[in-house]
Amino acid sequence: MRHSLPIAPQFYVTAPQPCPYLEGRMERKLFTALQGENAERLNNSLSAQGFRRSQNVLYRPSCAACAACLSARIDVSRFQPSKSQRRTLKRNAGLSRRATSPWATEDQYELFRRYLDSRHADGGMADMDVFEFAAMVEETPIRSRVIEYTDDETGELTGVCLTDVLGEGVSMVYSFYTPDRPSDGLGNYIILDHIEIARSAGLPYVYLGYWVPGSQKMGYKAKFSGLEVFMGGEWQQMRDPQGFTLDPHPLSNDPISEQVANISLPDMAPKRG
């Protein structure tokens, strides 16, 4: 009789390429495939260690001489909206939320294109066509939802967020929204609503992706109370955002082999019936 042993995830590193957040820097990523019957457990475990999902891949920045990108999440129990955030909630009170299965639609893609053309015309996703968009939304081996926001008065699709449901929170994989309402703070509103989604589901965290000190486009994340960042192998409460250095000592980043060795993996043994 032949027995099959569980195979541990294999980790790889991308080739260096220009950093999308900090000018003049190079980035590389540590990544592994997300597939098979253990995908849910692996995603839960690695998300809690600073990894993010893109389709069927989990990745984490692993740059040779920079450690600026910090995975960020909101501790729902410690979050208190600021005056500005309460105004954002009030301005968007006329939006309704609808959660659907991860299925791409023409309306979503049209909104996605308007958002990119207005906000990220020179970004890495600027050339994404409808088929690539559908793959981003639909190719998920875990429990994912598309959260749509529509205007109660016009019925117009106003915002969308691809959201993963984790064992201890919700992860905002990617969000986009109409560029026609710049004063409404729709990006912040979608985060605020996900805090409410997590709270109502009894989930302790909202994962926001990466916060990068010194990157203006990432500055909004530091304005949420209850924010934690993944540093030194653990989650730490956000301190003064101005206190983070962008130039760590070059020996402060562990070699790739040590980084992989320090990743905690879930039990990958097959479930017994």
Question: What is the mean pLDDT of the segment spanning 213-217?
Answer: 80
- 251 and 232 in a common domain: no
Contact status, residue 145 vs residue 102, Cβ threshold 8 Å: yes
Q: What angle do CA 131, 134, 138 make, to 5 degrees?
A: 140
Contact status, residue 71 vs residue 79, Cβ threshold 8 Å: no
Question: What is the mean pLDDT of the segment spanning 55-67?
Answer: 89
Percentage of the residues of the chain whose pLDDT score is greater than 70: 90
The owner of tokens 């990894």 is 51
Is 269 inside a domain boundary?
no
Question: What is the mean pLDDT of the segment spanning 48-73?
Answer: 91
- 127 and 29 in a common domain: no
- 229 and 152 in a common domain: yes
Distance separating alpha carbons of residues 121 and 141, to the nearest angstrom: 29
- 208 and 97 in a common domain: yes
133: pLDDT strictly greater than 60? yes
Is 231 inside a domain boundary?
yes
pLDDT at 146: 98
For 128, the domain range is 73-243
Contact status, residue 254 vs residue 30, Cβ threshold 8 Å: no
Question: What is the mean pLDDT of the segment spanning 249-253?
Answer: 62
- 211 and 82 in a common domain: yes
pLDDT tier for residue 214 given thresholds of 50, 70 and 90: confident
Give CA 266 to chain center in angstroms.
21
- 184 and 146 in a common domain: yes
Is 58 inside a domain boundary?
yes
